[in-house]
Structure 1
Amino acid sequence: MEIDDVEAAERRDSPELSEVSWALREVNRLTDAVNDAVTRRLGVGHNETLALDILLQSPEAMGPVELGNHLGIRSASATALVDRLESSGHVRRVRHPTDRRRLIVETTDSARRDVLAALLPLLTDVEAIAQELSADEAAVVTRYLRGVAGAMRRFSTG
């Protein structure tokens, strides 16, 4: 089924949504394709890309087991995943700062650079589109996107 067919079917089921909402729905649908492109560019597997994303965004240190819990995989699989990321140079295992008995997984500086480099063509295109907006338009779009991010955060934690 083509994306146009998917959207057409969704529109029949939810005709009350605005064009703005449909445009955002299309962006959300394309997220998986973007993640697949990043995975290819990094030369790692899908779970490795998801793990890097979790680790790069997490404000808290986590070990392989916690990482596995976030990914919905078993402890042994999480350990193997961390082994692969470590051998590729994307993460390292270090002692927990306050509990020396525990190991945590930390991303390397090169992992950050590699992820950013993989995303740079997309970010460059998005920035070019943003530069076409007037200051007032940019303020409206920013307010809208921050509001959407808040709604998504509430939805995902509620």
Structure 2
Amino acid sequence: MPYDDVEAAERRDSPDLSEVSWALREVNRLSGAVDDAVTRRLGVGHNETLALDILMQSPVGMGPVELGNHLGIRSASATALVDRLEASGHVRRVRHPTDRRRLIVETTDSARRDVLAALAPLLADVDAIADGLSSEEAAVVIGYLRAVAGAMRRFSAP
């Protein structure tokens, strides 16, 4: 179903939402398409892209089983996924910084550069849009987006 049809159906079911909420809902819906574009540009599978995103957000990396739990896949599948990412140079297995018995998976510098390069056209477009805002408008947008991010964190917390 095209995005316009999806929004029209959602608007019928939730008529009291503000236009701001509808605009943000559209951005959220399109994030999946952005993930698909990054996946194509990196030349990896969808789970590999999700794994890279999870690992890039992890301050210390994580074990393959823990990564698999985040992705909702079994440990054997997680190990195979890490093997593919390691073979492609996107991740490396290293000793855990405080528990030397454990191996963790972390992204490589080249993986971070590859992800940012894949996102570069989108980030440039977003920056160009932001450059058109006055400093007051930018402050309002930043405040709103930070508050929404906080609401999303609270909503998704276990």
- The two structures have a TM-score, normalised by structure 2, of 0.98
> CA offset at residue 60 of structure 1?
3.5
> CA offset at residue 98 of structure 1?
1.8
Deviation string 1:4-47 (CA, Å, 9 cap, x unpaired) is 11100111111111111000000000000000000000000000
Show the counterpart of 2:152: 152
Question: 2:36 is aligned with what amino acid?
Answer: D
> CA offset at residue 59 of structure 1?
2.1
Contact 2:39 2:49 in 1 (8 A): yes
Contact 2:60 2:106 in 1 (8 A): no
1:8 is aligned to 2:5: no
Show the counterpart of 1:26: 26
- C-alpha RMSD of matched pairs (Å): 0.8
Q: Is the partner of 1:40 in helix, strand or coil?
A: helix
CA distance in 2, matches of 1:142, 1:100: 41
The answer for unaligned runs of 5 or more in structure 2 is: none
Show the counterpart of 2:126: 126
Show the counterpart of 1:116: 116
> CA offset at residue 58 of structure 1?
1.2
CA distance in 2, matches of 1:61, 1:53: 11
Question: 1:126 is aligned with what amino acid?
Answer: V
> CA offset at residue 96 of structure 1?
1.2
Equivalent pairs: percent with the same residue? 86
